[in-house]
Chain A
Amino acid sequence: MEREKEKKGRKGERGWEGDVAGEERERKRDRERERESRLISFKVFSKNPRNQPPPKIKGMARSLWFLAFLLSLSVFTCKAAVFQPISDRHRSAALDLFVPVDGSFGSLEETYEALRTFQILGIDKVADINPATCPLVVETLASQSSKAKDIFHALRVNSILRCSIDTGAFEGAGSKLQSVLKDASSLLDFYYSIGSLVLIKDQSSESNVFLEDADGIFHSIKSLSQSDGRWRYSSNGAESSTYAAGIALEALSGVVSLASSGVDQSMIGIVKNDIMKLFDSLEGYDDGALFFDEKLVDASEHQGPLSTTSSVVRGVTAFAAVTSGRLNIPGDKILGMAYFFLGIGVPGNTKDLFNQIESLACLENNKISIPLILSLPATVLSLTSKDQLKVKVNTVLGLDAPPLTVELVQAFKSGSKDTHAFQGQELKFDPESSIHSLDLLSQSIDVGKYTLAFEVLLHDPEHKNIYTSGGRTLANIFVTGVVTIDGAEISVLDSDVGSVETKKKLDLSGESTVSLSANHLQKLRITFDLATPLGYAFVPHQVFLKLRHESKVEHIFVSGNSGKQFEIILDFLGLVEKFYYLSGIYDIQLTVGDAVMENSFLQDLGHVELDLPERPEKATRPPSPPVDPYSRFGPKQEISHIFRAPEKLPPKELSLCFLALTLLPFVGFLIGLIYLRVNLKNFPTSALPAAFAILFQAGIAAVLLLYVLFWLKLDLFTTLKTLGFLGTFLLFVGHRTLSYLASISAKVKSA
């Protein structure tokens, strides 16, 4: 009862607040939308009805406080995703990235970056680097030709390596730098020479380095500054840049620390003002990270946001360290920059890693305000394994924070108006693991996605000026649990009456296969209940029912719900066209899943055999099933040519037999001749006609022989040619023979 009352009261507060703050909030929301705000939880406030009972006075005061808080909050930290401080991942990345070759990292600048990164991360590598690098440092310092830049890098390396360098070398370098400083005009000249002098002062106990004309140098550096807080590299026409501002501030802080007799305080005040202006140009991401970006894009020494921000951080922290009095930069901005560096994660190249780590180290010990990072080791908490809500508060480099209490101020469940949930809880601190924790189970929390608002309360009031935790930090957590599934049923209904034809229970937790059959006049209904561990209705993001035909045509249906019960009704009459009139077996598959549901599942329920009407001519054809990519590429079946079969011939014996038969008439002819007693008495007796007769017969024999030869080997042309000669010859001898024979027979007749 008590609890309920309080809840009501709070609701009232918000309702009242909605009245007062309407206009202001509208404006704010517009601004938010422009920046694509991801803050959902505030919608809760604006949606409250106005006709709530008037709140009590105490409630009013509290709500005003809330409003003021929200206003200040919405500008910066309300969108904080949870950033993790520097961890072992950075250490292993540093070891992966900075790999010395023969005990050296290349140039002195790279060596410094590597050594400084290792130093901050607490990795001891100095002994490995010393032997190869120290001679280089000594040589650079002693050499007459080395420039201020080289000396600067050499001294920086030496600040970590602590090589043995005699005082003379320091003094030599010091006087050289002093002379450089005298006729320096560009910002980088100032930066390198002053930086080197500061380093000499730190490293050499005996040398007594100081600037005589500190005010003059201060003025000449200051003269390069612009009205918007940025700096130019040199006085002649160079464009102003934010990166240069960082360098300039670092140089100025060097001047202050080297000044023999303090620097004009009014000048320092002006520079402080410049810094404030510079911070007006901060840009931000949605998650609260803030950074500086260089405006000029095509300058040759263009710097990315990381190196620009890092330069400014170095400059500002160095300046704050040497000047007395506070720099009035809001802690939120410092925290935003810390978020920016942490939000990068683990950079993949050496320069970025160095910039990130070194800037964080600067923020870790700055005099303005030291950011404290609130992080959640786990944002997915399981009710089943009774996870506790754990919160860590560290400095950016992952060191323990000063004594403090973490309070859970607000908790909103996203996607519902119900802001029930634990509020105003103080987290328990475990000094051993330095983790603040809260037992979720005791809070009777249900599954869901929550937005939690934490607040860090420092125990020591002094610390409030030193540290900044950005007021309220928001974090999204997922509370997961097992959703109970009950009363799963599948049934086929008669369409017109709604009477149940067949009804089967389903076991959604295990194997269950049903086989149903239906026609186009019936309906298929699937119902089941989902409830959260606390017994409330649960609506998962994904409730799909999939029907898959044998021909791989798929249909997906989304389920609607009323309270706990989910119901999917498929009226086949209306779906006939969608189903392409394909009758046959459809496999049923149910998928239920949600981010906070630990027992999300995809299950085959069985199949339904549909009897749909014939496909009309004009209906759309089902899409062709996808081609299996593997089948496209296999080898093809071999093809061999089928040759024409040779003609069937009679056996050889038969042919020879018939050959003999064809020769028989000739033999008969010869026998007939003998039987007729033929003679050759008419053959010419005189010599000349006999010779012609013999030649004539030989000619005929030759022609016949030519035919035989033609058959055996000769071609047509040779044969015809020879035949031509033989023919002429035959004509001649034939004519003589025949005319002789004719004259003889004429004589006989006349006689």
Chain B
Amino acid sequence: MREVYGLLHHGSGFGFINSFADSFKTPSHCAARTLLSLIIIIIRHGNSKTLAKMGKTLLFRASILLFLLPFLCNSFSPENPTDRRILVLLDDLAIRSSHSIFFNSLKSRGFDLDFKLAEDPKLSLKRYGQYLYDGLILFSPSIKRFGGSLDLASVLEFVDSGHDLIIGADSSASDLIRDIATECGVDFDEASGILYDAAAVVIDHTSYAVSEAEGDHTLIASDDFIQSDVILGEKKIAAPVLFRGIGHSLNAANSLVLKVLSASPSAYSANLKTKLSSPPSLTGSAISLVSVVQARNNARVLLSGSLDLFSNRLFRSAVQKAGTSIKYEKSGNEQFVTELSKWIFHERGHLKAVNVKHHKAGETAEPAMYRINDDLEYSVEIYEWSGTSWKPYVADDVQVQFYMMSPYVLKTLSNDQKGQYYTSFRVPDVYGVFQFKVEYQRLGYTSLSLSKQIPVRPFRHNEYERFITAAYPYYGASFSSMAGFFVFTIIYLYNK
């Protein structure tokens, strides 16, 4: 695919080689990449004889590499949906150290993290039409303008092309970060800062984390999680999650965004330093602390109003929620963030459907057309990506529709616990062009949308029922009159 793309795109030999060099994006192939870029330089500028000679030998070696290329590439693909290369944008490189547990857990799960300052003038997400990264982590809340070619539009385009995004904001969140969030269906509390020197933060006077060092109740201990094993893992998060930052609300018109961690009913979002004269815009459990978006193209976005949520300090911190006597040795942050990042980077909850089959009952071949009232059998195999391999997906709520303008038949599929889903039903007595449709949308899973068109015809003239008993009097009448006619002709002609 890439080779072809390179040729089309550049229409020249250089472009072809460039696109190859481009496909070595993983650092593990750094040597190969350097080699190739060297060749490119030589081909481009190499007029002198020595260079050309050098180039020849290198080219020979490179050509061997080119054949190996398809085996070396292990980036994002439908067959292997987990992200591999992640760009981390920071507004201070110290975050790399203060949030190292989170980053190390990503590294240990096989991700290649590329740390850059958000104002790095060389930033770019794609080169020659190819994305350099599969995921983006924006831990640069205060950045007003990205460096390089990166801007709001290119971040959105990145997500629109199916890549994943994590945004960590805090009370210094800039308009740029707020705009990206707004485009994702999340509005960070705007009751901030021109008038005051600090933005509104989430305050909760009844479910804060008890601490001897912090008394302003902005460090919130929340345990109001979304009820979804696929997003937060099967193991229940026992300890509350510590959160310090700004709240956001979900856009009511956006059905793709989900509240993962919500504030308690007594929370509110306000500026600590000012007296409240009018009700704050965000109060109670309408405040979302952490939200996720799963776009229609299965791109996943995590939006957190707190960058500290990911920090080593809160990962390691002990937590006791106000009003309770249980003191947890460690906050739930590490588990929460790790599990959530597994979901965001498609290590969980990514489904694929293969082997969609249908045929008449008792047959095995797929017909080109069904007749009304035929009995048919439908089957599909569904697998879930576990991060390393495809495992059979087991659920009892997968449904198939036999659909023409509206569903005529909607049936729940039974499964054999090995990923195979099947059912059988009779084709309705309405003819037309139907579709087998599987629209599987479950909380946290990527949506499956399968459709297969199949025409349904009425009975042929000779397929109707013959010799109906009720018609025997008519048959009798006509045949007796025929017999009468025969006898009559004989009598009429030969009687004397």
Q: Which residues of A contact B (CB under 8 A)?
A: 36, 82, 89, 304-306, 344-349, 352, 376-380, 449, 477-478, 480, 539, 541-542, 544, 546, 554, 556-558, 589, 591, 593-597, 600-602, 623-624, 626-627, 629-630, 632-641, 643-644, 649-650, 652, 655-656, 658-663, 665-666, 669-670, 673, 678-683, 693, 697, 700-701, 704, 707-708, 711, 715, 737-738, 741
Contact = CB atoms under 8 A, between A and B. Distances in A.
A542 B268 contact: yes
A304 B94 contact: yes
A346 B491 contact: no
Given A539-B275, A556-B283, 10 more contacts: A348-B98, A352-B94, A591-B265, A593-B205, A593-B217, A633-B442, A643-B429, A652-B469, A661-B473, A741-B493
B476 interface: yes
B408 interface: yes
Contacts of A693: 493-494
Given A557-B279, A629-B258, A638-B410, A449 B215 contact: yes
Interface stretch (B239-247, B359-367, B482-490): B482-490
A523 B407 CA distance: 53
Given A597-B205, A629-B259, A708-B479, A701 B486 contact: yes
A378 B483 CA distance: 118
Nearest to B268: A542
A741 to B, nearest CB: 6
Contacts of A658: 472-473, 476
A596 B215 CA distance: 8
Contact of A655 (B96, B276, B442, B473): B473
Interface string B255-288: 1001100000110101010011111100110000
20 contacts: A349-B97, A376-B213, A379-B212, A480-B215, A541-B203, A541-B276, A556-B279, A591-B265, A593-B205, A595-B216, A627-B252, A632-B255, A632-B441, A639-B410, A640-B410, A662-B476, A663-B476, A682-B493, A683-B494, A701-B486
Contact of B472 (A376, A595, A659, A679): A659
A82 B213 CA distance: 9
A337 B485 CA distance: 127
A380 B211 contact: yes
Contacts of B469: 649, 652, 655-656
B473 A595 contact: no
A602 B487 contact: no
Given A633-B441, A633-B443, A380 B214 contact: yes
Considering residues A542, A624, A658, A665, which has the most beta carbons from chain B within 10 angstroms of its beta carbon? A542
B153 interface: no
A346 B312 contact: yes
Considering residues A306, A601, A643, which has the most beta carbons from chain B within 10 angstroms of its beta carbon? A643
Contact of B99 (A348, A678, A679): A348
Contacts of A655: 469-473
A682 B494 contact: yes
B297 interface: no
Interface string B383-427: 000000000000001010110000111111000000000000110
B411 A348 contact: no
A345 B98 CA distance: 8
Contacts of A596: 215
A298 to B, nearest CB: 9
B480 A697 contact: no
B494 A478 contact: no
Contacts of B103: 348
A380 B494 contact: no
A630 B443 contact: yes
B213 A673 contact: no
A325 B493 CA distance: 158
Contacts of B255: 627, 632
B98 A602 contact: no
B14 interface: no
Interface string B188-217: 000000000100000111100001111111
Nearest to A650: B470
Contact of A669 (B226, B399, B441, B484): B484
Q: Which 4 A-B pairs have the closest CB atoms?
A: A348-B100, A593-B205, A478-B215, A600-B205
B66 interface: no
A558 B279 contact: yes
Contacts of B94: 304-306, 344, 352
B323 to A, nearest CB: 9
A554 B265 CA distance: 12
A568 to B, nearest CB: 12
Interface in B451-470: 462, 468-470
Contact of B480 (A449, A636, A665, A673): A665
B415 to A, nearest CB: 13
Contact of A477 (B215, B284, B312): B215
A237 to B, nearest CB: 23
A643 to B, nearest CB: 5
A700 B425 CA distance: 51
A293 B212 CA distance: 33
A102 B217 CA distance: 46
Nearest to B216: A595
B313 interface: yes
A626 B259 CA distance: 12
B495 interface: yes
Contacts of A376: 213
B377 to A, nearest CB: 16
Contacts of B496: 679, 681-682
A390 to B, nearest CB: 10
A591 B266 contact: yes
Given A602-B265, A633-B442, A640-B409, A680 B486 contact: no
A662 B215 contact: no
A344 B92 CA distance: 13
A656 B469 CA distance: 8
Nearest to B104: A348
Interface in B219-233: 226-227
B37 interface: no
